[in-house]
Amino acid sequence: MKIRLISTAASVAALLGALASPVVQAASQSEMIAEGKRVAFHRKLGNCLTCHMMADGESPGNVGPPLIAMKARFPDKKVLRAQIWDSTSNNPATMMPPFGKHSILTEDQIDAVVEFVHSL
């Protein structure tokens, strides 16, 4: 009897979690996008505006490509993350710093920037 109660309680908890998860995911994704924008625009962190034009960016550079239509350009976020992590793996002559490889940004910061850039 005791096992059945635990099993039922676990099932109810799992069901409630499944019902709430889209709302939680949407909130956490929007928070992650906001954090990614903060990191990307911060001159001492991502500093993406030095080279890239992107929505809401002030005084963008034009050395790198404009960050627009990113979902079409990078349908797989893993490829975008790899580019931000170490752009030298695809292009050894790139001017883009390898943000992950050189520990310029943390894993969480890179994930947030990926969410933001992918939303553009």
CATH tag for 27-119 (out of 1.10.760.10, 3.30.70.2860, 3.30.420.10, 3.20.19.10)? 1.10.760.10
The domain spans of the chain are: 27-119
| Contacts for 117 with CB less than 8 Å, ≥ 6 apart | 36, 40, 48, 54, 67, 70, 80, 84
The residue with tokens 């109810």 is 12
pLDDT tens for the chain, 120 residues long, are: 555 545 565 665 555 555 555 545 555 888 999 999 999 999 999 999 999 999 888 888 889 999 999 999 999 999 999 999 999 999 999 999 999 999 999 999 999 999 999 999
Phi-psi region of 55 (alpha: psi -120 to 50; beta: other; left: phi over 0): beta
> pTM of the predicted model, to two decimals?
0.75
